[in-house]
Amino acid sequence: MTITAAAMPAPFPFSAIAGQPHLRQALLLAAVDPGLGGVLIEGPRGTAKTTAARALAELLPDAPFVTLPLGASLESLVGTLDLGRAMAGHELQFAPGLLARAHGGVLYVDEINLLPDALIDSLLDAAASGVNVVERDGISHRHAARFVLVGTMNPEEGTLRPQLLDRFGLCVQLRNIDDPSERQAIVRARLAFDADPQGFRDRHSQAQDELSAALVRARALVADAAALPYTDAVHEAVSAMCIAAAVDGLRADLVMLRSARALAAWEGAAAVTSDHVQRVTEAVLLHRRKPEAEAPAPRTAPPEAGGKASSDAVGKNSTGSADDGDWGAMPPEPVGIERVKPLRPLIDSRQRQPTPKKA
């Protein structure tokens, strides 16, 4: 009996995804410039994470969609020695892994926060460099591995180490749809797709073709090193944003510049502007911003006519009252010391002395 592989169902059109504009933009930017390092998607279940990742692969020409399961081994990810050929012909040959299969497409990892750190390290190295290097099992091999990395996670089930978070290019936090009309539109679209997938795709075919053509143009523009240069104003805006977020290192600066350039290429702009930087800032800094950078500045009373603050305001700020955000705090009050009734021992010490024995 011959077993044939079942055909994969047609994906939901990317152009029909609604209600998650930040997710759509982040995925498109990562597709324009895969060197950004991928997209990390945080959020609750049922918010179109897998649907959007699979739909993105369809926009890329001849792009595979590869899923990395949580139980995968390091050998299945990066590749290893082909034992069959080695035992049959006594020769060493490389057997490609999932990174090789994902070249030119999308590599999707669901619940990436539950993946072993060794696999995440190799995955992020290849996503950032576009090259997979294997030095193991007596083989030395390297091959191209340029793909769009999409990882999802639920923060309630655990987080990634800061070192791994920083290596993701962009991060998006999804939310539940609270607007009734928007929620109903999404449900209607999904029901229409489930009832007639091909008819639904036919109705969105023109929009899909336009997105695919726009991606091809944007990728070609990003690949042109002479196109879309960075001005001094763009560099100043990037530095100001990263310093205000108190990020570690310079990876955030580099990713923000590349993201702004990818956005400019996607929109067909003549140059990268500070507006492009502003619009990609949150996706770049969301997972890199230090907690202390998010705290609001302490409120102070406005200065009086002489340029000095009132004595009442100075006194409150110096003692840490409600102006510091510590609402409900009460000043310490002196409390008297009450006398405690002395305690009597349960056993009299005199009774514990041994009595002399009679002669």
List residues with catalytic annotation. 251
Question: Beta-strand (E) ranges in the chain?
Answer: 39-42, 65-67, 80-81, 94-95, 106-109, 131-136, 139-144, 148-153, 170-173
CA nearest neighbour of 98 among 50, 152, 147, 61: 147
In sequence order, the 6+-apart residues with CB closer than 8 A to the CB of 231 are 271, 272, 273
Query: CA–CA distance from 94 to each of 75, 84, 91, 99, 187 (Å)?
Result: 11, 11, 10, 13, 47
Take residue 279 and report the two structure tokens written for it. 């619009």
How far separated are the first and last CA of the chain, in Å rounded? 108
As a whole number of Å, the CA-based R_g of the chain is 31
Phi, psi of 234 (to 5 degrees): -65, -45
